[in-house]
Chain A
Amino acid sequence: MKIHIKNGHLIDPKNNINDKLDVFIAAGKIVAIGKAPDGFVANHTIDATHLTICPGLVDLSARLREPGDEYKARLLSELQAAVAGGVTSLACPPDTDPVLDEPGLVEMLKHRTKQQGLAHVYPLGALTRQLEGKALSEMNELHAAGCVGFSQANVAITDTQVLWRAMEYAATFGFTLYLHAEEPFLAANGVAHDGEVATRLGLKGIPSAAEALALATILRIAQETKAKIHISRLSTAEGVDMIRKAKQQGLNISCDVSANHLHLTEHDIAYFDANCHLKPPLRTQRDKDALRAGLMDGTIDSICSDHTPVDDDAKQAPFAEAEVGATGLELLLPLTLKWAVEEKLNLLQAMRLITQAPANVLGIVAGELSPNSDADLCIFDANEYWKVCPQALKSQGKNTPFTGLELAGKVKYTLVHGQIVYQQPH
């Protein structure tokens, strides 16, 4: 199949392209940018007039809920959601049921996701068995089965001895560790930022210090072990400062922020909106500003969706009992665009954070449209508004704090391996 995408505006951060250029695809690969190769005859042409063409989005964290929690979401529904959101590569955390701590489970997941022929799935293996923070998982075996890194999901390793050994072992083989920075004793039973709103609503708080303390431990051990660390979902101003300093000191560290935390604060909980029950908790305006500043100066490497579909029943409970998480795959692009507009960033700078940058973190070849690379791309209308509502979402998880909001940025086509895997219905 030969595809000619014409009249679109091409954004490719990796190759620094921000221009009106045509794209030519053959046999699943990009064959040329700008001018058609000699003898190219397209059997399909996509007219991208007024549209933006960009590499398929790369998401550092999307829960697909399989195996184990199929009532919350299924592979097919979530992979359809991914491509509907322009995401063509995603990493998934290991907190499935059973936990992704055995090569067989990873192989099965890889196989099943490949069968769907939608987005590429890159599992993060469990760093410790059962995520219990006691015994190391078989990292080499898991890597061979397809894991691109190792994570504790939202579970902390309380034993610093184990954390130290895990980093040493991973560093031996050059694996990246994906860690949430939250000190578990200070955060115990907490459901909201420990501040004005939690005090007013009578919710158990998670102090900012919980992030700082955990970060201090992780950074100090990383310094000793030379492990490659990625901090998942930074949430505080202090955390941003600590990462900034660690990077200046030359630590091999990267980090991300969720699109939710770029736009929301503790005040969005309003009258106990369970959709705002997120991990880490939504924090203050000052923290939000610091996260945005961290993205601008490169302290924070990437924006992720933190896609965590939750079924409706699990959210229909008092705030603290409502399950943590929000759907996000289909909101990553519009929320990133919204942030870029608010911060007066150009599209090239903004798209880098959800294409090239996360691909670098994961160490995968994705998020670029170089000749001969896989034709994974997304074509969207940056100016088309759509309303976030259950009917508009493919994901089985319909809960998001942004429900009812009109967002700009509508995906028109998504291609994976040169195949049109999503086309906006007319």
Chain B
Amino acid sequence: MNNPQLDADGNLKHLLSIEGLPKRILNQILDTAESFVGVAEREVKKVPLLRGKTVCNLFFENSTRTRTTFEIAAKRLSADVISLNVSTSSQSKGETILDTVDNLIAMHADMFVVRHGQSGAAHLIAKHVPAHIHVVNAGDGRHSHPTQGLLDVFTIRKYKPELHNLRIAIVGDVLHSRVARSEIHALTTLGVPEIRVIAPKTLLPTQVEKLGVHVFHDMEQGLKDVDVVMMLRLQNERMSGAMLPSSQEYFKTYGLTQDKLKLAKPDAIVMHPGPMNRGVEIDSTVADGKQSVILPQVTYGIAIRMAVMAILAGGNSSTSSPAGAAA
């Protein structure tokens, strides 16, 4: 089976998942993002890379935050940006996902940024679009959220450059988390030697250890001597019911407090993909504390998304270059 994310020369064609991407590509994205971090500090926060290109944010699942960061990233690359919340328009009229995509292709969209509640939606669209169009997965069901995974490793690299020496804990609802899956794949590919997941059994998927992680059910044991604590968001609808008895009990057992954080290394950093549930998965004193890098994550998220879009939109040499025809 061919990797749908890479073209015949092994270059990035779509960004659908971290899984299956070689270390070379991950590093290319991270290094390119490094150059984009500075762009935001200039008087003109823009580079002309995607001038004349149309980026279409196709959000079948609402997320103001993710949509906004993709919009800013595309605009800083000088692209024209259209954002559609499809859940509220055509889907209710019986139009299929691919109908919606075809309509936007007819309007000459060059890139789709897709978020959907179902795993595999971005793959479906990537399989459908013509070769010159690129697809970026902005989150599909429980499957993948590759730019979030990349911005998380980018943030870690900024504070803890020696990735091959790190011990990292991911805490919370791994079962439903596309963020956790993306983080795990990114960290393993980049050679982080020890990745832990800490959660009750109801919030861990079957055979999660096959993803290359160590499983802990106890915060005291799991946080011991880690360099990075990555907290996951707990969705409201899962705070009480058959998954968990209550958000209070969850906070007591798995919420990150200053006391629990003391078990990690003294210079450990705390991360969260946002939006946070203060007092459920994380205590405010930790979220706003000096070990927290939650806001830098947001800043770096824009640079990562710029890097991904810049690499994708410029990677058309096989389709648009006349070099082959001239030979």
Contact = CB atoms under 8 A, between A and B. Distances in A.
A345 interface: no
A56 interface: no
A196 B97 CA distance: 28
A270 interface: yes
Most buried by B among A207, A270, A313, A316: A316
A195 B142 CA distance: 15
B124 A199 contact: no
Interface residues of B, number: 27
Interface string A148-184: 0000000000000000000000000000000000000
B207 A199 contact: yes
B65 to A, nearest CB: 20
Contact of B206 (A207, A270, A318, A321): A207
A185 to B, nearest CB: 10
Contacts of A195: 206-207
A293 interface: no
A423 B159 CA distance: 72
Contacts of B115: none
B211 A318 contact: no
Nearest to B210: A196
B1 A272 contact: no
B141 A317 contact: no
Given A203-B119, A318-B121, A271 B1 contact: yes
Contacts of A319: 118-120
B178 interface: yes
A79 B113 CA distance: 44
Contacts of A270: 1
B224 to A, nearest CB: 26
Contacts of B19: 200
A316 B96 contact: yes
Nearest to A192: B119
Interface string A191-228: 00011101111111101000000000000000000000
Given A316-B124, A318-B119, A321-B118, A202 B211 contact: no
B249 to A, nearest CB: 24
A316 B143 CA distance: 18
B120 A316 contact: no
B178 A272 contact: no
Interface of B: 1, 4, 19, 96-98, 116, 118-121, 123-124, 128, 140-144, 178, 181, 205-208, 210-211
19 contacts: A195-B207, A196-B210, A199-B211, A200-B211, A201-B119, A202-B140, A202-B178, A203-B119, A203-B143, A271-B4, A272-B119, A313-B96, A317-B97, A318-B116, A318-B118, A318-B119, A318-B120, A320-B120, A320-B141
Interface of A: 194-196, 198-205, 207, 270-272, 274, 313, 316-321
Given A271-B1, A318-B124, 10 more contacts: A194-B206, A195-B207, A199-B211, A201-B143, A207-B206, A313-B96, A317-B97, A319-B120, A320-B119, A321-B118
